[in-house]
């Protein structure tokens, strides 16, 4: 049984992808445009958005810095004045590896501003309209890095854990209102963010493969969309271990 209303026909669906200049967000925009969706792409990098629109007629570029609440409110207001939004996906993400022995508070807070607070700004801007319509879908891209603590994840992991909890709570609050809520937890995906990693990334997939898995999850009405399964199921099993066993397993697996 589907936890969300399945989205099987994308033709005419108005989709706002926030964080779509590179990586999973851009790959999603390409796939949804090919399926007939009316795609709006947002990110800080205007040139990347404009190049997308030139290559994908009918799409719209809306430059946006998600850390500025007023800018998010203005962007949402302008979009909603043109018609309802059928799906809003928060793809924006910021990541630098960090350990507690080299804590950088400014960079740590930047993770929270982009990954968590930006998502809250977007929710505040679009949720009232969706609730009033009793229709629409909210999707948050988190990560399996939010399941439990991981080495090098001091700044990134807590923000993704927050998004997991946020999506679960949103689902409980909004399902009865007729809204869809989905949580996307990728493993390693080949993007400019993961290119910073200096360690082997098991089961890494392309952004195009990630986008395909996400669209399939929306089509099936899933709540948690996680991939690639050969990696994410291992992370889910590790999540169930008692703390002492988990710490020992992670030290052994990562050698960090």
Q: What is the extent of the structural domain holding 210? A: 14-254
CATH code of the domain containing 106: 3.40.50.720
pLDDT for position 255: 86
pTM of this prediction?
0.96
What mean pLDDT do residues 117-137 have?
98
Where does the pLDDT of residue 104 fall: very low under 50, low under 70, confident under 90, or very high at 90 and above?
very high
The pLDDT assigned to 39 comes to 98
For the ranges 56-60, 101-105, 196-200, which has the lowest average pLDDT?
Answer: 196-200
Is 1 a residue whose pLDDT tops 80?
Answer: no
Residues catalogued as catalytic: 156
Q: Determine, yes or no, domain membership for 231.
A: yes
Q: Strand locations in the chain, DSSP E? A: 14-18, 38-42, 60-61, 87-90, 137-141, 180-186, 189-190, 205-206, 224-227
Helices 23-34 and 46-55: crossing angle in degrees, nearest 10, is 20
Token pair belonging to 154: 């001091």
Residue 220 lies in a domain: yes
- The number of domains in the chain is 1
The reply to whether 199 falls in a domain is yes
Q: CB neighbours (10 Å) of residue 256?
A: 10
Residue 3 lies inside a defined structural domain of this protein: no
Query: Rounded to 5 degrees, what angle do the CA atoms 62, 185, 214 make?
Result: 60
């Amino acid at each position: 049984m589907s936890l969300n209303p399945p989205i099987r026909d994308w033709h005419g669906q108005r989709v706002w992808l926030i964080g779509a200049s590179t990586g999973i967000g851009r790959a999603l925009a390409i796939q949804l445009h090919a399926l007939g969706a009316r795609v709006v792409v947002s990110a800080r990098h205007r040139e990347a958005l404009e190049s997308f629109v030139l290559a994908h007629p009918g799409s719209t570029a809306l430059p946006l810095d998600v850390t500025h609440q007023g800018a998010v409110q203005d962007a949402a207001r302008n979009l909603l004045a043109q018609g309802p939004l059928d799906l809003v996906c928060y793809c924006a993400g910021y990541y630098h590896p960090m350990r507690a022995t080299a804590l950088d508070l400014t960079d740590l807070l930047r993770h929270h501003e982009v990954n968590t607070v930006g998502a809250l700004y977007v929710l505040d801007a679009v949720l009232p309209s969706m609730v009033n319509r009793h229709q629409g879908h909210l999707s948050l891209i988190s990560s399996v890095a939010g399941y439990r603590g991981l080495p090098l994840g001091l700044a990134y992991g807590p923000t993704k854990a927050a998004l997991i909890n946020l999506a679960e709570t949103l689902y409980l609050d909004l399902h009865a209102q007729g809204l869809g809520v989905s949580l996307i937890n990728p493993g390693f995906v080949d993007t400019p963010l993961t290119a910073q990693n200096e360690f082997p990334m098991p089961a890494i997939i392309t952004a195009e493969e990630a986008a395909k898995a996400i669209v399939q999850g929306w089509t099936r009405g899933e709540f948690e969309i996680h991939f690639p399964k050969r990696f994410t199921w291992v992370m889910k099993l590790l999540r169930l271990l008692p703390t002492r066993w988990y710490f020992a397993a992670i030290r052994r697996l990562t050698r960090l």
